[in-house]
Structures are given as C-alpha cells and as structure tokens.
C-alpha cells in the first residue's frame, strides 16, 4: 500500500480479486486507489494564478492569520481526477437498481436537470424583487397547485427542506392549532411500532411524549389498540400510508375518524406517496397534515446528504397556522406573503428552488395520467420482486400483494450461519447496492426492497437472478462468501459501530508529516 490510511475508517486492504490476485498499487484494474487531498500535501502549490493582493492588515488586527492556511495544492486536472475517482467509488442510481426500501431511489430524468439549470431559475437571488422573479413565483404557485390537487388538500407549506423537516412543520402547525383552541394540554402523540425513526424523533423534538401503537399480525395498525390509547391528552397520531411494511392501511378512514372523534389530528407520513400518487388523495382519507418528499415521489436527486424538499399539505383546520411564506396573486402580479401567522418560519427564504423546478418538470412531463402510471408501475415492480424472490426468501407478510416495496424477514436464513447483514454485504460483490436492512424493526432481520417504477423487466430480472443465486449459495453452506463480504469493494467490511460512535470528521497530520496549521477541532 503506497497511501497512508489517515482519516479512513479501516486500512484499505490490498485489492484482491476473486482469483486471489492483488495489484501492487491498490488499484483495481483502471480504478485507482484515492488518498485524501490532505494526504497529498503540496501546501505551497495552488491551482489558480491570482495577482498578489494588496491589503491593509490593520483592519483585521490580531485576527490576521498567523500560520499558513493548510490547504493541499492541486492542479486543475488533479482536482478533477480526485473527485471523479471518488465518484467511481460511490454507488448511484445512474449505475444500477438502487433497492433501498422507503427511500424511493428512482431515476432522475435529465429533462429536470436541464430545466433547473435555466439561468432564470438557477441564477435567481432569493432577495431579488418580486417584480423580477415572476416566473419563479409562478412555478412555486403551480407546483403548490399540483401538490394540493394530487393530495386533495386545501393548503401547502412549501418551505420545509426534507421529509423530517416537513414532519416538524406539520407537528408545529398541530401544536399551534391546539394552543389556539385552548387544547395546549394535549401533549401525547401515538406512533405505530413500524414507524420511520423520524416520526417519534420529531414528536419528541416538539416536546411531545410518544406512545407506540401495536401492529396486527398482518402488518397494519391495530385499531383496537389505537382506540384504547386515544384520550383527551393526545395531540396527534402519526401514521405512514402505505406503511413501512409496504402495506396499505386498510382501516385508514376509520383510523382518521377515531382520531378526530378524540380531538386529535392525523399526521400522515407521506414518504410512500409514490405508491398511491394519482390513485388516492390523502385528503379524502381524513389526513390533516402530510409531508411530501419531492426527492422521493417526484424524482429529484437525493442521497449523500441532500438536498431534499418536504412541502407539507394541510387541511382546512391547520391551514391558518401554516408558516410564511406563500405566493399570493395581486394586481401587480405574484408576490410572497411574508407576514407571521404566529408560527414564524421554517427556514430562511422560500425552500429548495432547484428541487421545485425539478419536481414541477417531472409532473408536467408525466401529466396526471403519467403520475398515476408511476404508482401502478411501482406497485407492479415490487410485486414482481416479491413473487420471484419468494421462491427462496421468506416474505414477512406473504398474504396478498404488497404496495411499492417488498419486505422479507430472515427466517429463510435460519441454520445457514448467514445473517441479513452478511447477505447484504455479499450483494455488493455481485454488483448490487443492498436493500434497506433491519427496518422496519417489527420484522426480524428485515430486508426491505423498493425497486420503483423506473426499473425495466430486464433490470428487475438481473437483480432477482443475483439474489436467488446468492440465496442458493447461502443455503448450500458457503458461509465464507458472506462472512468476509464484500471482497471486491474498494473497502472491505467496515466496523460500522465504531464508525458511528467515533467518527473521524477531520484529518489530522501524522507526527512525521510536515504539518500545516491544524484544522478546526473535530
Ligand atoms: C424518507 C422517510 C422519512 C424522512 O424523510 P427525509 O426526507 O429523509 O427527511 C420519513 N418517513 C419515511 C417513511 C421515510 O421513508
């Protein structure tokens, strides 16, 4: 190994192929090993050529930098290559099916990218006078109209920047509505056991206590348990539909009715809207607030930390408590209402404009009928996977079809010595990103597979063939293929607990290195 491993979670191992052949450099064929930029050094080099600045240091007083800034020096091609090589080590929806359940990793149409790069959208400053931004305001207004129409809801708060941020917005609206009605004592929120972790986390963040609702053996909300737990101190229920087991909540209308009968609001986690868009309007089901992950259902790119967008649709009861801003039509054209309704704002400015443009382009290019087809094809693809993989793997809820994701448990691995984690790691060697693992928590060793509608039959078959072949090997007793996996990835199996508990967030020079100024504290 020529490169030092400072800042890496584990030592990169020699690049060993399936035949046990290791390269001398750590490369794998044309994929080179890549050090951190800081490991390259070159502190006195720079990729740009600027005239020496003349400035008067006296303005800065003792704040003037005393030590060199300590940035590694790279030429333009070195910089480009660094980032391109890093991107080659990462997985992307542009490379293969990305089966992460609950995440809706669908193709990002290039038309959306083209629209988002139009200078009128891309170069617009958020403080530009409304008169100069009529097109952008019109786009926000049209997108809001589509979101309200598709959900059957009268209002939408556009500014939240992720699903979880939308949850926060929705619960803050609910809290404001209860307080305005003299119901501020309602401080309990009911959440099903299978909920995404953001649901209880959001409720706790708002200052509410969280109580779990039990699940029936067929993976739905236990209505009797819900009714028993409702009471005069319950502020809201938070229910995902379709739920995180990939199942439609059959009793959803009744769930809404009993919640309302007890004076609670119905927050719906809309992350799985992709399964029902164009077919079911959540407003018709009795939902009071629901976030929509534009980066899931409406194809805007995500993963690797963002950006997302999580507009929240609101019922008539909650609409008066929506945060600013929103678009208003006046005699002078469109403008933004910025006045405070008592709630304040969720964020500076108006939300994720780039994501708005992409989502709107997606809606317009699909049309209403095309969006309905999205939901139908997403469900069809998931059921195709469920049917094919059931030949070797055990579906968690075998009875009836699933919605947009197929959920398996690990009972089919019993006695093989292979765990869900091992199986997922072996998938990497076969060219596939693992599915969501160990979520939802209600299913033992869960494997949650969401293909989305953008996968063709051929791609689905390639994926299923790979998993079925792996399953066969696991059952035949080749445990080592799984325990040591991934063998062929740039980095082998990582100590994930250590990485989570003690992340190395900053590079530190090794004692022997000629050190630049130390970086900010970890
Ligand atoms: C993705 C997801 C969320 C959170 O959305 P973010 O945009 O990641 O904040 C919440 N609930 C469910 C069911 C999800 O799949």
Cα(216) to centroid(ligand 1), Å: 23
Q: Does residue 416 line the site of ligand 1, with CB under 6 A?
A: no
Cα(288) to centroid(ligand 1), Å: 18
Cα 266 to Cα 2: distance, rounded to the nearest angstrom = 58
Q: Does residue 243 line the site of ligand 1, with CB under 6 A?
A: no
Q: Please say whether the structural domain 112-364 has been given the CATH code 3.40.640.10.
A: yes
Cα(296) to centroid(ligand 1), Å: 9
Do the Cβ atoms of 109 and 453 come closer than 8 Å? no
Closest CA to 32 of 75, 73, 2: 2
Cα 69 to Cα 88: distance, rounded to the nearest angstrom = 29
Q: Does residue 244 line the site of ligand 1, with CB under 6 A?
A: yes
Cα(248) to centroid(ligand 1), Å: 17
Residue nearest atom 14 of ligand 1, based on CA coordinates: 271
Q: Which residues pair with 326 in a beta bridge?
A: 337
Enclosing H/E stretch for 157: strand 155-157
Q: Does residue 352 line the site of ligand 1, with CB under 6 A?
A: no
Cα 145 to Cα 79: distance, rounded to the nearest angstrom = 43
- Model pLDDT, residue 67: 83
Cα 104 to Cα 450: distance, rounded to the nearest angstrom = 7
Helix, strand, coil in percent for the chain, rounding step 5: 40, 10, 50
Do the Cβ atoms of 446 and 405 come closer than 8 Å? no
Q: Does residue 35 line the site of ligand 1, with CB under 6 A?
A: no
Q: Please say whether the structural domain 369-492 has been given the CATH code 3.90.1150.10.
A: yes
Do the Cβ atoms of 280 and 258 come closer than 8 Å? no
Cα 492 to Cα 156: distance, rounded to the nearest angstrom = 45
For 288-309, the pLDDT digits (tens) are: 999 999 999 999 999 765 689 9
Cα(245) to centroid(ligand 1), Å: 14
Closest CA to 418 of 470, 376, 491: 470
**What letter does residue 324 receive in the DSSP assignment?**
B
Q: Which residues pair with 327 in a beta bridge?
A: 336
Closest CA to 333 of 149, 141, 121: 141
Domain parsing of the chain, residue ranges: 112-364, 369-492
For 364-376, the pLDDT digits (tens) are: 999 999 999 999 9
Which segments within 241-372 are labelled E, that is strand? 265-269, 289-291, 312-314, 326-330, 333-337
Q: Does residue 291 line the site of ligand 1, with CB under 6 A?
A: no
Residues of the chain with pLDDT under 50: 1-14, 513, 518, 520-522
- Model pLDDT, residue 234: 98
Residue nearest atom 4 of ligand 1, based on CA coordinates: 163
pTM: 0.90
- Model pLDDT, residue 490: 83
């Amino acid at each position: 190994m020529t490169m030092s491993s400072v800042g890496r979670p584990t030592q990169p191992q020699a690049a060993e192929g399936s035949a046990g052949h290791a390269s001398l450099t750590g490369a794998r064929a044309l994929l080179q090993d890549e050090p951190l930029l800081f490991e390259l050094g070159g502190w006195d080099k720079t990729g740009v050529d600027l005239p020496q600045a003349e400035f008067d240091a006296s303005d800065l007083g003792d704040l003037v930098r005393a030590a060199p800034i300590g940035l590694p020096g790279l030429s333009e091609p070195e910089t480009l290559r660094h980032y391109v090589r890093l991107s080659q080590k990462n997985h992307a929806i542009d490379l293969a099916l990305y089966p992460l359940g609950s995440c809706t990793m669908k193709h990002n149409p290039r038309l959306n990218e083209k629209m988002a790069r139009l200078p009128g959208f891309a170069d617009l400053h958020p403080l530009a006078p409304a008169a100069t931004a009529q097109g952008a305001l019109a786009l926000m207004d049209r997108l809001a109209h589509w979101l309200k129409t598709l959900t059957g809801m009268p209002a939408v708060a556009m500014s939240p920047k992720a699903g979880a941020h939308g949850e926060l917005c929705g619960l803050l609206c609910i809290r404001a509505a209860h307080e305005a009605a003299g119901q501020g004592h309602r401080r309990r929120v009911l959440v099903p056991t299978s909920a995404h972790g953001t649901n209880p986390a959001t409720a706790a963040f708002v200052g509410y206590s969280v109580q779990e609702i039990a699940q029936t053996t067929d993976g739905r909300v236990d209505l009797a348990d819900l009714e028993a737990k409702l009471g005069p101190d319950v502020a809201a229920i938070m229910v995902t539909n379709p739920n995180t087991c990939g199942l439609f909540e059959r009793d959803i209308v009744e769930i809404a009715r009993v919640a309302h009968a007890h004076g609670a609001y119905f927050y719906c986690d809309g992350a799985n809207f992709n399964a029902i868009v164009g077919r079911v309007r959540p407003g018709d089901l009795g939902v009071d607030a629901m976030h929509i992950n534009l980066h899931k259902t409406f194809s805007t790119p995500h993963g690797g930390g963002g950006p997302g967008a999580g507009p929240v649709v609101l019922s008539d009861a909650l609409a008066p408590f929506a945060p600013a801003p929103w678009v208003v039509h006046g005699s002078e054209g469109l403008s933004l209402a910025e006045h405070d309704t008592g709630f304040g704002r969720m964020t500076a400015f108006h939300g994720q404009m780039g994501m708005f443009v992409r989502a709107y382009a997606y809606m317009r290019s699909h049309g209403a009928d095309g969006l309905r087809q999205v939901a139908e094809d997403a469900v069809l693809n998931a059921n195709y996977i469920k049917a094919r993989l059931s030949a070797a793997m055990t579906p968690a809820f075998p009875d009836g079809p699933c919605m947009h994701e197929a959920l398996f448990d690990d009972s089919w691995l019993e006695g093989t010595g292979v765990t869900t984690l091992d199986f997922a790691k072996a998938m990497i060697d076969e060219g596939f990103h693992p599915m969501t693992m160990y979520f939802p928590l209600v299913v033992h060793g869960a494997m949650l597979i969401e293909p989305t509608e953008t996968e063709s039959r051929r791609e689905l078959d390639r994926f299923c063939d790979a998993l079925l072949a792996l399953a066969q090997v696991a059952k035949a007793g080749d445990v080592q293929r799984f325990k040591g996996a991934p063998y062929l990835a740039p980095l082998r199996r990582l100590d994930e607990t250590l990485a989570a508990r003690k992340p190395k967030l900053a590079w530190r020079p090794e004692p022997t290195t000629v050190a630049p100024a130390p970086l900010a504290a970890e």
